[in-house]
Amino acid sequence: MGHEFELTDAAEVDATPEQLWEAIATGPGIDSWFMGRNEVEGGTGGVIRGTFGGYRPEFGIREWEPLERLVYGTDAAPDGRRIAYEFLIEGREGGSSVIRCVTSGFLPGDDWEDEFEAMTTGGALFFRTLVEYVTHFAGRAAVPVTAFGPPVGDWDTAWATLGAALGLSARPMTGDRVRLEPDGREPVEGVVYAVNDQSVGIRVPDAMIRFIRGFHGPMVAAHHVFTPGVDAAAEEKAWSSWLARVFD
């Protein structure tokens, strides 16, 4: 049967159109809020390539209007699967802007519901992270850090376990103040900026820390670290060790 979908996210942010364009239309900008590593060959007819673990998506750029509009997406697969993203930027007086993201496409098959839920909650986290990025870290480039924990059996228990590891008495909620103690690193305090059924996002002074329910069972750390000269391999090792200690 399959499912045709269209989702819209929008926010007014304390950022200029130039800052938003850098965030959505350059590789270092996308690295700082989306997932994995990204590279952009700009202009209509160009391409955006990503790398996240073994996932290597490639999106053709269909519309490229600097500071105003960016549209990119995949061609339809033989089963009809496709996805497209449209970003719209509207500058406001005083240096603020409105950013909108319309995600549309088609999911094939009769079992599209689980994939749609994961895509919807993931998209909400990514958009909220974009807002956090341009609000608190605009102009800075992050190093993306990805680490995978052990398989999780019960996710209600896993989120409560995460809360305990952050110094809370229950699952993290938006606005909670938390304390993180990654292995081999100094403790750092932060605030939870996003929560949904499949993710938790935390902002600390020099990073955005995200925990995501993995497709095949593990808790995934998908962070953005703004510390100059950070060693991505060392960060991934530290967070892998932390995940194993907390969830094993």
What does 168-219 look like in DSSP terms, one character per residue? -SSS--TT-EEEE--TTS--EEEEEEEEETTEEEEEETTEEEEEEE-TTSEE
CATH architecture of 3-136: 2-Layer Sandwich (3.30)
213/246 Cα distance (integer angstroms) = 15
- The answer to whether residues 58 and 47 touch, using CB atoms and an 8 Å cutoff, is yes
Q: List, in sequence order, every residue forming a beta bridge with 86; answer none if it has no partner.
A: 71, 102
**Token code pair at residue 49:** 């390539």
- What pLDDT is attached to residue 184? 80
pLDDT averaged over consecutive 10-residue blocks of the chain (248 residues)? 95 97 98 96 97 89 98 96 98 94 96 90 96 97 95 94 96 97 89 96 97 88 95 94 94
- What pLDDT is attached to residue 107? 96
- What pLDDT is attached to residue 214? 85
221/215 Cα distance (integer angstroms) = 13
- What pLDDT is attached to residue 215? 72
Residue carrying structure tokens 């240096």? 95
Residue carrying structure tokens 């994995």? 36
- Smallest CA-to-CA distance from 138 within 14, 10, 39 is with 14
170/183 Cα distance (integer angstroms) = 22
Please give the CATH topology (third level) of the domain spanning 143-247: Alpha-D-Glucose-1,6-Bisphosphate; Chain A, domain 4 (3.30.530)
- What pLDDT is attached to residue 102? 98
95/223 Cα distance (integer angstroms) = 28
pTM for this predicted structure: 0.94
- What pLDDT is attached to residue 153? 86
- Smallest CA-to-CA distance from 66 within 91, 39, 84 is with 91
153/148 Cα distance (integer angstroms) = 15
Q: Where in the chain is the domain with CATH 3.30.530.20?
A: 3-136, 143-247
